[in-house]
Amino acid sequence: MADNDPSLWHGTTILAVRKNGRVAIAGDGQVSLGHTVIKGTARKVRRLAGGTVIAGFAGATADAFALFERLEAKLEQYPGQLARAAVEMAKEWRTDRYLRRLEAMMAVADASTSLTLTGVGDVLEPDDGLIGIGSGGGYALSAARALLPLEGMDAEMIARRSLEIASEICVYTNNNIVIEAMDAEV
């Protein structure tokens, strides 16, 4: 298996939820090195493009910061066009010799679009408005799918509860949860 095989990536949980005119991206705070917790309060979710885009990363921290910077530059080049900026960044990510070695994935969202970005050039928009990445991404995604149809639960509530559930299952996920949310198009 290649070093950039997503099945080998672990160390975080990021979940994007889009529901009833809101979009939220949540991430846990655990940074692991092998089987050791190095930090429990990392901030893996942040706002970009003057607050109009929310992004969360899973993977190597330094690589994720490099990708945040690249995406921010593309968002400046294509203001208000998250999908185009993501595609342009993914093209660079896939073809640039340095970027190809980066081990990270991103979940990004603006008012109208949620996307998963990968190092193999994927720019994927989910059918159901949910994205789960990282070692606990599958657990959080499953929980979110179960909670999504429930009345009385908004995007932030679903994101928080889903990450809490993932933190009870995945040893690389803690319950120090950071959530960024904004109004979305319905």
| Displacement of CA 71 from its chain's centroid (Å) | 13
State the DSSP H helix or E strand holding residue 16, giving kind and residue range, or none if neither. strand 13-19
**Across the strands, what pairs with 168?**
none
Query: Given 12, 116, 118, 173, which residue is catalytic?
Result: 12
Active site residue 12: yes
- Rounded-to-10 torsion of CA 124, 110, 52, 28: -70
Contact between 126 and 107 under an 8 Å Cβ cutoff? The reply is: no
| Displacement of CA 57 from its chain's centroid (Å) | 5
SS3 of residue 37 by DSSP: strand
Closest CA to 153 of 1, 17, 6: 17
Gap between the Cα atoms of 12 and 170, Å rounded:
9
Gap between the Cα atoms of 179 and 186, Å rounded:
20
Q: Active-site residues: which are they? A: 12
